[in-house]
Structure 1
Amino acid sequence: MTKPWNKRIALMPMMLLAMMIAAACGSNTTDDSNANASAGASPSAATAGAKPEEEGKKEAVTVSLLTSQAKYKEAYQKIAQKLKTDENITLDIQVVPDDQYYNLVKTKIATKEVPDILMNNAPSEYITIDAPKNMVDLSNEPWIARLANPNLLKGTDGKVYAMPVESSSFYAAAYYNKAVFKDLGLSEPKTYADFLNVLETIKTKGNGITPIFMSNKDSWTTQIFMTIGLPVLLGDKAQATWDQLLTNKIKWADIPEFKTVLEDYADLYKRGYVNKDHMTATFDNAKEALATGKAAMLYNGEWTVGDLLTKNHMNPDQIGAFVLPFGDKQIMGTGAFVQGFFIPKNAKNVDAAKRVLNLISQPSYMNLYFAENPGSPGFKDVDGGSVHPAVKALVDHYISTNQYIAQLNDPMAFASPIFPDLWQLYVDMTVDGTKTPDQVISAWDKKYADYMKQKEQPGF
């Protein structure tokens, strides 16, 4: 899934760039998520294993980092403070609302008013941001030798343009409140009919509890149902389908599974299983509703669990997760890295930015992150911490047994620059009378074909 990701840049003037979070703020902060977080350090030697200078004051330097609310974690406060204390580097972290981030990044690249470091998905977003043209090649950085899965970060040119936090990511699932399920006598569904029955039970017997919370203001969350559902429904036909779409041998309208997953998604709204304020609700709102028991579940990635624990202070024992059984299949959709650090070629402090990445790749920094966000580290010498049982179960049951499939966004990455338009069509479909599944398919087929012709893709 590509994460973070939406539109409306016209509504966000340059003051968005002034939304800096204070060190105390995290990715999914509420009112104070746009304050300033900084830590400081100097450009002292930061090669792998390099030791800080023992004497003398280090020269101060400031390095800017642009990220979205969903990608920023509170643990970065401690990383920033360590950079300031140990290295005299001020890490000026600028946090932008999720629904503005995608277009803001594109605008800053186009105007060459870029930060020193920016966060984006890797390698799926290499195409979107034209990494070979706009981003620094990091293939020869010292931390490359310590990567757990170096090949997963390589672009089609064999180069690496982003430094990861985790070794793999995006475990798409319904993350749910166990207390709600227990009170209503519910169990994890094994078929799609079971899933609908669970939602119906919550709607009719849950005393106002929202069965499944949707946050359509952040359209990157809207797309996940289709981004995962379509390849799961396609199954063994998935790769052939992507190949045919990329060569114009078939249209999106020729894929019955695409219409099916759109109809299934629209049906959730027609049946009243979704929160009424879904058009203005954010991902932060979704997690808050789940943690407080106002919603039974939400559909997203495994980072949801970390946020529920660190920001919403949800009881760890009350967090569960299950894979949505699209087409009655027990297969999990997954994807590429969702937290990658890029350095734009036009950054003012490229060398200092490289030093910062090498520093935070070290165990003493990365362990600060995983102490609060347990997972699978991107580096072999980093302690991933204690993974929550719900996430571990997904890995054990699906990843370890090869019962998973790549999300739509990865094999179709060539079209990723226009994916936000598709996500908006999904959002429009959730409003009565705005877009039907057939209208979504028709509009997307035209947009897709026009884009591929513009890019002179063979077959178009």
Structure 2
Amino acid sequence: MSHGSKKALAVFAIAAVGSVALAACSGGGGGSSDGSVEISYLTQSDDANTAQAKALIAAFEEANPDITVKLETQPGGTEGDNLMKTKLSTDSMNDVFHYNTGSLLQALNPDQTLVDLSDQDWVADLTDDFKTVVSTDNGLYGAPWGTSFAGAVLYNKKVYESLGLEVPTTWDEFIANSEKIKSDGGGVAPILQSFGDTWTSQLFVLGDFANVSAVNPDWAEEYTANDPNAKYVEEPALAGFTHGAEVFEKGLLNEDFASMTNAQAMNALAEGTGAQYPMLSATISQVQQDNPDLVEDIGVFALPADDAADTSITMWQPNGIYIAKSAEGDKLEAAKKFVAFANSDDGCQVQNEGGSIAGPYVTSACTLPDDVPGLVNDIQAYFDSGKTGSALEFLSPIKGPNLENITVAVGSGITGAEDGAAQYDEDVKKQAQQLGLEGW
């Protein structure tokens, strides 16, 4: 997803709230005469991010009484992106800052603006997927903050149990399960769709990307370079469109798919009036809020590929914490301690107590608390077996603005799968050209 589309996933995404005046940032090298050092930490100005930042700083300062961390905030979204780029280009960036991973990080030109952290001890604890989205060929620049979450199929375990169904590992098995629910489920909708919130229509495409990468690990790179074989109108990427069309054609959707909202779909899933829902695991927060007693009735499995050997779960990576190159001397050493602390036992405890957990950590330094939703353990099983892959937005900056409208049309039977894929291949061209990507 583009940054804008990521904001559209409003159930779980951290939204920008208001504008906060920015204090002047010092990037100088030294500490004070008594040996103490002050550094600054920048995060987004919404309540959730600010609260977690304050908790992290308090815990860090208690463990490091000679270091003071000054918290500063700014809006998220495009406004925040532009502020980041301006401050980095003028060497006025905060010593440490919290920001996206993947393609949005690459837009900050990290080789020139950030400190390479690849020699830090905590790097050995990171997953390979996360290392990829905070690295260039020249260095690794970020430590994770928060947990990952999956784009997959949420399902009602009780419905599966009552019909004797097993978690599918191929697309054919998924369709067979869905048809069994349709015939024997007593009116339970086999597959929920919620086009009343158009962003939700994208999951058959976006949640399938780990399977695309399993078939062709270089697909994202080839796509970004405008390779004619790495298009959505070609397999393996076409599958996301054909699958969305197929479930409509076979009558496997809830009758009110055109008007149902994401919140309504999550409630239907929890209550068992819908059996399966291609969705983001982060939306479990809706069930925690509305149906807390039903949280454990919901599990998750990867959107199945045609071949079980390719079936992998698509992950949205957590944000990262970075150090600006303008941090020098004692400030740089203090900043490195702060970043390391975030992924220490004490830093992990801050994350466990203050974050919304909808997937595994991407560092072995952090252990999930015992009271996480059960679907998190389902996702962890894919991590343990090495069957994960990052969503495309973390590997390529290209995402056309009309995907959700195209997938609504395909998923409603208005547009054929191949026509929809061709429309999307055309849709991305303008953005790629605006980004100045070679080959477009």
- TM-score range (shorter-chain normalised) is 0.5 to 0.7
Question: CA contact under 8 A between 1:287 and 1:308: conserved in structure 2?
Answer: yes
In the TM superposition, 1:1-80 aligns within 5 A as: 5-6=5-6, 17-18=17-18, 65-66=43-44, 77=51, 80=54
State the partner residue of 1:40.
Answer: none
- Tell me how far apart the structure 1 counterparts of residues 364 and 230 of structure 2 sit (CA, whole Å): 43
Aligned match of 1:298: 277
Identify the residue that residue 256 of structure 2 maps to in structure 1: 276
- One-letter code of the match for 1:444? Y
Deviation at residue 367 of structure 1 after TM alignment: 1.6
Q: Which residue of 1 aligns with 2:407?
A: 426
CA distance in 2, matches of 1:143, 1:239: 29
Question: What letter is aligned with 1:148?
Answer: L
1:164 aligns with 2:144: yes
SS at match of 1:243: helix
User: 1-side partners of 2:37 and 2:434: how far apart?
Assistant: 48
Quote the residue 1:132 is aligned against. Answer: 110
Within-5 A mapping of 1:329-348: 329=308, 331-335=311-315, 337-341=317-321
- Contact 1:135–1:161 under 8 Å retained in 2: no
AA partner of residue 195 (structure 1): F
Distance 1:236 1:268, change over 3 A: closer
Aligned runs of 1:54-133 on 2, under 5 Å? 65-66=43-44, 77=51, 80-81=54-55, 83=57, 101=77, 103=78, 105-106=80-81, 117-120=97-100, 122-127=101-106, 129-132=107-110
Q: Measure, in 2, the Cα distance between the counterparts of 1:242 and 1:82.
A: 36
Aligned-pair identity in percent equals 18
3-state SS in 2 of match to 1:384: coil
Structure 2 counterpart of 1:263: 242
Query: 1:164, CA displacement in angstroms?
Result: 0.5
Conservation of the 8 A alpha-carbon contact between 1:66 and 1:117: no
**1:135-284 mapped onto 2 (5 Å cutoff):** 136-137=114-115, 139=117, 147-149=125-127, 151-165=131-145, 169-203=148-182, 206=185, 209-216=188-195, 221-229=200-208, 232=211, 235-237=214-216, 239=218, 243=222, 246-250=225-229, 252=231, 255-270=234-249, 271=251, 273-274=253-254, 276=256, 281-282=261-262, 284=263
Distance 1:255 1:269 in 2: 21
Residue in structure 1 matched with residue 32 of structure 2 by the alignment? none
Letter in 2 for 1:366: C
TM-aligned CA distance change 1:450 to 1:377, over 3 Å: closer
Q: Distance in 2 between matches of 1:237 and 1:417?
A: 18
Contact conserved, 1:135 with 1:342, CA < 8 A, in 2? no
- The question of 1:369 aligning with 2:369 is answered no
- Residue range with higher mean Cα deviation, 144-153 or 171-180: 144-153
Classify the secondary structure of the residue corresponding to 1:418: coil
Mapped contact 2:169–2:305 kept (Cα < 8 A): no
Q: Tell me, in whole angstroms, the C-alpha distance in 1 between the residues paired with 2:347 and 2:186.
A: 45
Aligned partners of 1:230 and 1:257 also within 8 Å: no
SS of the residue corresponding to residue 314 of structure 2 reads strand
Q: How many residues are treated as equivalent by the alignment?
A: 399
TM-score, normalised with respect to structure 1: 0.64
Q: Deviations over 1:60-119 (max 9, x none)?
A: 9996632889xx69xx857645646885978688898xxxx5x56556557879998554
Counterparts of 1:236 and 1:209, CA distance in 2: 34
The Cα shift of 1:298 comes to 2.4
Q: Which ranges of structure 1 fall in alignment gaps of 5 or more residues?
A: 9-14, 21-42, 44-57
- The alpha-carbon deviation at position 210 of structure 1 amounts to 4.0
1:195-236 CA distance string (max 9 Å, x none): 234334445655664433345576665433213435626853
* Whole-Å separation in 1 of the counterparts to 2:392 and 2:43: 29
1:316-338 per-residue CA deviation (whole Å, 9 max, x = no partner) reads 54232223323152511334623
Give CA deviations for 1:122-152 in whole Å, capped at 9, x if unaligned: 234323x434389644638978567534844
Q: What letter corresponds to residue 261 of structure 1 in structure 2?
A: G
Cα 1:106–1:91, aligned 2, differ >3 Å: closer, same or farther?
closer
Letter in 1 for 2:366: V
Q: CA deviation at 1:300?
A: 3.5
Q: 349, 355, 368: which one pairs with 1:384?
A: 368
Aligned partners of 1:419, 1:210: CA distance in 2, in Å?
Answer: 31
1:365 and 1:241 map into 2 onto residues whose CA distance is 33
Alignment partners' CA distance in 2, 1:206 and 1:155: 47
Measure, in 2, the Cα distance between the counterparts of 1:295 and 1:131: 45
Distance in 1 of aligned mates of 2:44 and 2:74: 5
Match of 1:437 in 2: 417
**How big is the shift at 1:369?**
2.6
Counterpart secondary structure, 1:17: coil
RMSD: 5.1
What is the deviation of 1:273? 0.8
Aligned partner of 2:12 in structure 1 is none
Counterpart-to-counterpart distance in 1, 2:308 and 2:187: 30
Structure 1 residue identity aligned to 2:5: W
Task: Indicate the SS of the match to 1:370.
Answer: helix
Instruction: Tell me if the contact between 2:238 and 2:418 (Cα under 8 Å) persists in the aligned partners.
Output: yes
Which 5+ residue runs of structure 2 have no aligned equivalent? 9-14, 21-25, 27-35, 62-67
Distance change (3 Å), C-alpha of 1:421 and 1:316: closer
- 1-side partners of 2:199 and 2:274: how far apart? 20
After superposition, the C-alpha distances for 1:40-68 in whole angstroms (9 at most, x for unaligned) are xxx9xxxxxxxxxxxxxx99999663288
Specify the code of the residue in structure 1 equivalent to 2:17: L
Higher RCO structure, 1 or 2 (CA under 8 Å, sep 6+): 2
2:122 and 2:340 in contact (8 A); partners too = no
Equivalent in the alignment of 1:52: none
Q: Residues 106 and 286 of structure 1: is their aligned pair in 2 closer, same or farther, counting only changes over 3 Å?
A: farther
Alignment partners' CA distance in 1, 2:410 and 2:335: 42
Distance 2:230 2:109 in 1: 28
